[in-house]
Structure 1
Amino acid sequence: MGIVSRPGDSLMNAFLIATALVALAEMGDKTQLLAFLLAARFRKPVPIVAGIFVATIVNHAFAGAVGMWLTQLIGAEAMRWILGLSFIAMAAWILVPDTMDNEEGEKEHRFGVFGATTIAFFLAEMGDKTQIATVALGARYAADFVWVICGTTLGMMLANVPAVYLGNHFAQKLPLKLIHGICAAIFAAIGVFVLVGSTGII
């Protein structure tokens, strides 16, 4: 049973699932904390948002390509088990609160606000929950690679643009535990569907 997109799979399926999962996973994540910090430090939302967008596109395109490559390298059956267990592991990881490393908020800004944001956000996203999720989604929906990247990028922007404009006050109003719980449940459900080889919408 293959784990890449089947003919009946909708392109919008991959897009909407990627958008929802990453937007939820990003709430309270390290990179969202970085967005808060950059907004407070530079107070220039437009170049900060632009930097986040560029960093996300580059980082997630790489992550999605890795996922697609792994699917071709390992083979469908082995990848099905790896992906299923990875999604379940992601569900557990989502429930672990993130913290901001001081060094990630102290990047020199000799490249300007846009350059500092792009570099800091790209580095912070390396090995982050949302990047790993993009690798898994890129492998799960390899045939819809572009839609996955569009979805994960939109999800990042949905979570981080309000963070840039509204700051920490906005974050304190969000029920982060509930959001993380919902996201973890979705990741776990996808993991189970992949493991049992479901032909459903996921």
Structure 2
Amino acid sequence: MTYALLLSTVVIFIAELGDKSQLMAMTFATRYRARDVLLGITVATAVVHLASVALGYWIGAGFAEYQGPIAVCAGVAFLGFAAWTLRGDELTEDEAEKAKRASGSAVLAVGTAFFLAELGDKTMLATITLATQENWFGTWIGSTIGMVAADALAIVVGVALGKHLPDKVIKYGASAAFAVFGVLLIAEGAGWLG
């Protein structure tokens, strides 16, 4: 479980860097207290990632005899995430306006926005992929920690510096990390790593 927790924390933290969710976190932090933004992000992430690990666990358990091919498919998915990260992810003007106009409880507004934004996002897909191979509980906790930590970083940097993180460094670094994880998974699935 510890390995799954650490691996998913790192992978999801990297996946979240430069993601539109970080931009949403910065936007919400200009309107609400950082504590409320982080609480909303945490609740939404925990719910989305619980569903993600349930799906990943079901796929991994249901097809246990195909762990090699599943690892290769997971590796290919991670290479896809690397390409997706290189392409970039931006917050549209409409999404930024919705974040600024959110009414009601800050935690509810942030939580709802993050829940909807994460459905089908690369962090959700990466969590599903990790859960096919690793302990579901460790993956769930780790992916939640990784995402909240990355978004907390965005809030702190956004508030403290009033600037965005250096996009190119984040984009290339995150993409390279996904590619490395992808190659390792493919090598493991093909039996090259034992």
TM-score (norm. length: structure 1): 0.81
> C-alpha displacement at 1:67, in angstroms?
1.2
2:169 to 175, 178, 182: 178
Contact 1:64 1:145 in 2 (8 A): yes
What is the distance in 2 between the residues matched to 1:61 and 1:15?
13
Mapped pair 1:131 → 2:124: yes
What is the aligned-residue RMSD (CA, Å)? 2.4
Mapped pair 1:167 → 2:143: no
2:114 to 117, 121, 127: 121
> C-alpha displacement at 1:176, in angstroms?
3.1
Contact 1:25 1:183 in 2 (8 A): yes
For residue 95 of structure 1, give the secondary structure of its aligned residue in structure 2.
helix
1:44 to 13, 21, 33: 33
Deviates more, 1:82-91 or 1:68-77: 68-77
- Match of 2:45, as an amino acid? T
- Tell me the equivalent position of 1:61: 50
- Tell me the equivalent position of 1:83: 74
Residues 133-185 of structure 1 show CA distances to partners (whole Å, capped at 9, x for unaligned) of 111111121xx111111111111121112323442664736333223322222
What is the distance in 1 between the residues matched to 2:21 and 2:117?
6
CA gap of 1:152–1:165, structure 2 versus 1, over 3 A, is: same
> C-alpha displacement at 1:33, in angstroms?
0.6
Contact 1:163 1:170 in 2 (8 A): no
- Match of 1:178, as an amino acid? V
- Aligned-residue identity in percent: 32
Q: Give the unaligned 5+ runs of structure 1.
A: 1-10
Mapped pair 1:71 → 2:60: yes
CA gap of 1:83–1:51, structure 2 versus 1, over 3 A, is: same
- Match of 2:32, as an amino acid? R
Contact 1:84 1:192 in 2 (8 A): yes
Deviates more, 1:158-167 or 1:169-178: 169-178
- Match of 1:87, as an amino acid? F
Contact 2:23 2:91 in 1 (8 A): yes
Q: Give the unaligned 5+ runs of structure 2.
A: none
Contact 1:95 1:181 in 2 (8 A): yes
Contact 1:104 1:124 in 2 (8 A): no
- Match of 1:96, as an amino acid? R
For residue 163 of structure 2, give the secondary structure of its aligned residue in structure 1.
helix
Deviates more, 1:120-129 or 1:159-168: 159-168
TM-score (norm. length: structure 2): 0.85
CA gap of 1:79–1:120, structure 2 versus 1, over 3 A, is: same
Residues 87-121 of structure 1 show CA distances to partners (whole Å, capped at 9, x for unaligned) of 11111111122111344341664441111011001
- Match of 1:154, as an amino acid? I
What is the distance in 1 between the residues matched to 2:37 and 2:73?
36
Contact 1:47 1:114 in 2 (8 A): yes
- Match of 2:48, as an amino acid? N
Mapped pair 1:29 → 2:22: no
Contact 2:60 2:132 in 1 (8 A): yes
Mapped pair 1:100 → 2:91: yes
- Tell me the equivalent position of 2:178: 187
